[in-house]
Structure 1
Amino acid sequence: MKNMTKTFRNCAGAAALAALCVPALLPSAPAIAAPPAASKQLDEAVAALRGISTMRADFVQTDRKGQSVRGTLTLKRPGRIRFQYEKSAQMLIVSDGKALTLIDYAVDQVQRWPIKNSPLGALLDPHRDVAKYGTVLPTGNPNVVSVEVRDTSHPEYGVITLIFTRKASAPGGLELTYWVALDSQNQRTTIALSNQRYGVPVSDRDFRWNDPRRKSRLQK
């Protein structure tokens, strides 16, 4: 469990950033001319994500060593997301749309950084133009759409590949089923979603969290 928690510390932030980048900011069209089919698929993916106002889903997060942890994802646009990990992970990730907070209850630590300063800030910062960063990758399956997002001028931001499947009941007819985040240290993290529920009641209270540092100070 100790090694697993360390792994989460290294990769969980990138995974959460990956979740936030596209729903708000993926471009409606690539800056560089693309084949009509690819351009249409990118438009479809963006429309599907922008069609999500709220969502809850189960997720499985897996690192490159095959270690996995489960949890529940809660999303509310614009920019709010919560990764509620299973109790054994002793971790929580929450975004209020401006900053991402990683709470590690195992060691009573809190890490918070502005989205614009995060490793994937180019994808999350609304003041940056991300139109040129989205590329549709061929899948060979008309029911599967793959979108890779990277900023070649800032390799330190990492790469995100989002996989959608066609589903009539999902917003825009496409459902985000999983994504893969690869950071500059070659740390690979996969998030697989299931049981997606759209338009569910989500309160701003769902993005609050208890600060474990207060408890630590009281115990000293």
Structure 2
Amino acid sequence: MRYSQLPTGRRSILAMAFAALVTGASFPWPALAQTAPARLTAEQQADVERMQAYLSGIRTMQARFVQVASNGAYAEGTFYLSRPGKLRFQYDPPAPLLIISDGTVVYSYDTALKQTTQIPVNLTPLWFLLRERISFTGDVTLTRYDRQAGVVRLTLVQTKDPAAGSVELALQSEPLALRQWSVTDGQGITTNIALTEARQDVRLDGKLFVFNENQPGGVQQHQ
């Protein structure tokens, strides 16, 4: 995307939006990021396994999202998830962005410039959340577990390439619910995406996850 052609405010919104899903695969990350596996008590391990099962059990989700970056950029919109593999971020105006994963490729469409950027879904930081079975072992390593005020925060990295990036998940403990995730890019900018009004196991139109060059906006899900 040619951010240099856009006003500064719009460029920062686009940059932080795309970074939240994609740039973890292609930018260096802060050298101080923790990469060693977390040492968990038996109680904490049981908690982690409960959260893995919860996330694996989510088939569909629709929610509003608020996206804030540490550089001050802000955007919001509607988030759709259909596991495995599919998601959609429908950004509200004035953010000129639409992000769709069809299960194989993530498409980022700039509605102002009419430009599309593509990347394989398995190269994005959130790929492990889109897989059929979610596990924080094997090719993903849990490096930090923290529980405070009924919220559990889990920090995860790729096992084979921990310096490639990290994602922090925030889950409400009782009842279990995914509330937020955070990604930090190679420039040290942290992007937080918080979910509100989340509904699970809802019927979603499959066309939400199809990117059409001739009609990039595609279908709109009725509320």
TM-score by length of 1: 0.76
More helix by share: 1
Q: Which residue of 2 aligns with 1:7?
A: 12
Tell me the percent identity: 28
**Given the superposition, is the C-alpha separation of residues 212 and 155 from structure 1 closer, same or farther in structure 2, using an over 3 Å criterion?**
farther
Q: Distance in 2 between matches of 1:125 and 1:162?
A: 14
| Residue pair 1:144, 1:163 contacting (<8 A) in 2 also | yes
**Given the superposition, is the C-alpha separation of residues 7 and 152 from structure 1 closer, same or farther in structure 2, using an over 3 Å criterion?**
farther
Any idea what the Cα deviations from partners look like across 1:53-85, whole Å, max 9, x if unmatched?
111000000111222111000000111000000
Q: Distance in 2 between matches of 1:156 and 1:116?
A: 17
Q: Which residue of 1 aligns with 2:28?
A: none
Any idea what the Cα deviations from partners look like across 1:129-185, whole Å, max 9, x if unmatched?
9615124422333x21111011365355321111011343xxxxx101111111233
Any idea what the Cα deviations from partners look like across 1:170-215, whole Å, max 9, x if unmatched?
xxxx10111111123322100010000111111211112442699x
Q: Distance in 2 between matches of 1:99 and 1:147?
A: 26
| Residue pair 2:168, 2:181 contacting (<8 A) in 1 also | yes
Q: Which residue of 2 aligns with 1:178?
A: 180
Matches within 5 A, 1:43-192: 43-118=49-124, 120=125, 123=128, 131=137, 132-141=140-149, 143-151=150-158, 154-155=161-162, 157-168=164-175, 174-192=176-194
| Residue pair 2:60, 2:83 contacting (<8 A) in 1 also | yes
Aligned residues: 194
- Structure 2, unmatched stretches of 5+, are 1-5, 24-36, 217-223
| Residue pair 1:136, 1:145 contacting (<8 A) in 2 also | no
Q: Distance in 2 between matches of 1:84 and 1:11?
A: 15
Shift of 1:17: 5.3
Q: Distance in 2 between matches of 1:116 and 1:52?
A: 19
Q: Distance in 1 between matches of 2:120 and 2:170?
A: 27
Secondary structure, aligned partner of 1:89: coil
Q: Distance in 1 between matches of 2:62 and 2:51?
A: 19
Cα RMSD after superposing both structures: 3.0
